[in-house]
Amino acid sequence: MSLFNVYPLFDITPVKAKDLNVYDDKGVEYLDLYGGHAVISIGHSHPKYVSAISNQVSTLGFYSNAIQNPLQEALADKLVKFSGSKNYQLFLCNSGAEANENALKLASFHNGKRKVLAFKNSFHGRTSAAVVATDDPKIVAPLNAQQVVDFVELGNLKAVEAILKQNETCAVIIECVQGVGGLDQSTTAFYQGLGKLCKENNTILIADEVQSGYGRTGDFFAFQKHKIQPEIISIAKGMGNGFPIGGILIHPDIKASYGLLGTTFGGNHLACAAGLAVLDVIDEENLMQNVRDISDYFIEKTKAVPQLKAIKGRGLMLGLEFDFPVAELRKKLIHDHKIFTGSAKNPNLIRILPPLTIQKKHVDQFFEALKKELD
Ligand SMILES: Cc1ncc(COP(=O)(O)O)c(C=O)c1O
């Protein structure tokens, strides 16, 4: 037992996967409605993705960021164009927490302020600054806690205003659909008001799109629904379909001196090949339309489940809220029906985060299993 234990694990060992199916070491097939925690965007082992990574590793897998890497340029151009984030520039790193860490550092460097405003039930990662902006004191160490973060109830603009007026807040960081916290979201009026308050008070608005980005909500970024323009956008998870890659998209007004941001592995050749293949597939297979269609179908099906208290989230980032804790139900789904789902901070909520390639037959399979357990 040499492995440091960090999660309670299900007793299943996946050894291979294809699109929405995962197979364990005994050959049992599972339906993946969890996407490895919103990571698998274009389906497991997509042929285009497999050949992009294989070709890249057999030519040049890695070289240092101190030399030219045209794949980074290609990925940045494609991402900026595809996401509609005109004139933004991309910095590449390796994970969601790292993206947020760099976003917060850059914001503070830009306007010289020290405090951060985050929202109740937020999750931004486990590294030093990201973990302090995460609303979970259990995972914060004394070393991290030097950073000062104000937590505000999602939707409470008055509270945001009172804090930003003190002129100490470098950044507001927000998930426009909360992930780990339980799929809560606020109104367009709130997000637009937030954008306005940030501008008026020289505070950088950071949209954490680590989970909600890359088409998962039916828009490329969740904030786009509200027609706001954050200065920094954090991305990771679905970006590499399992290959570790993250980044921040940075508004052209924000500048950094050489050396402020940097990384050994971020944006390496293999990661870029993975990132480019993912964007190609999202585009060529029109996956954002599929997200919207299947989401409508899924939500329609929930109407036949009287035990459901609420449906949260949107697109393929959905929370099914019951009026009882769902741990046992999730165990039955996985062991008896061979279906992976996600949990959330709210113990009554099942989180649905499938690959964006999901089809109606997968949704039917889930609702048949749910019906058997609940009836
Ligand atoms: C919204 C959000 N931000 C940041 C993170 C942290 O990402 P990572 O685990 O890649 O560091 C997560 C992970 O779940 C997340 O959901």
* Residue ranges per structural domain of the chain: 14-46+286-374, 48-284
| For residues 212-225, average pLDDT | 98
Same fold, 14-46+286-374 and 48-284: no
- The CATH number corresponding to 14-46+286-374 among 3.90.1150.10, 3.40.50.2300, 3.30.70.1520, 3.40.50.300 equals 3.90.1150.10
If you measure from the C-alpha of residue 96 to the centroid of ligand 1, how many angstroms do you get, rounded to a whole number? 5
The reply to whether ligand 1 has any atom less than 6 angstroms from the CB of 330 is no
User: 6-10, 125-129, 351-355: lowest mean pLDDT where?
Assistant: 6-10
State percent of the chain over pLDDT 90.
Answer: 96
Interatomic CA distance for residues 283 and 78, integer angstroms: 11
Residue range 167-206, pLDDT digits in tens = 999 999 999 999 999 999 999 999 999 999 999 999 999 9
Interatomic CA distance for residues 99 and 94, integer angstroms: 8
User: 139-148, 254-263, 310-319: lowest mean pLDDT where?
Assistant: 139-148
Q: What is the pTM of this model?
A: 0.98
- The residue whose C-alpha atom lies closest to atom 9 belonging to ligand 1 is 96
Q: Which CATH class is domain 48-284?
A: alpha beta
Residue range 62-74, pLDDT digits in tens = 999 999 999 999 9
Q: 269-284 vs 70-83: helix axis angle to the nearest 10? A: 30
- Please return the burial class of 64, using the count of CB atoms within 10 Å of its CB with bins 0-12, 13-18 and 19+: exposed
The reply to whether ligand 1 has any atom less than 6 angstroms from the CB of 219 is no
The reply to whether ligand 1 has any atom less than 6 angstroms from the CB of 175 is yes
The reply to whether ligand 1 has any atom less than 6 angstroms from the CB of 236 is yes
How many other CB atoms are there within 10 angstroms of residue 79's CB atom?
24
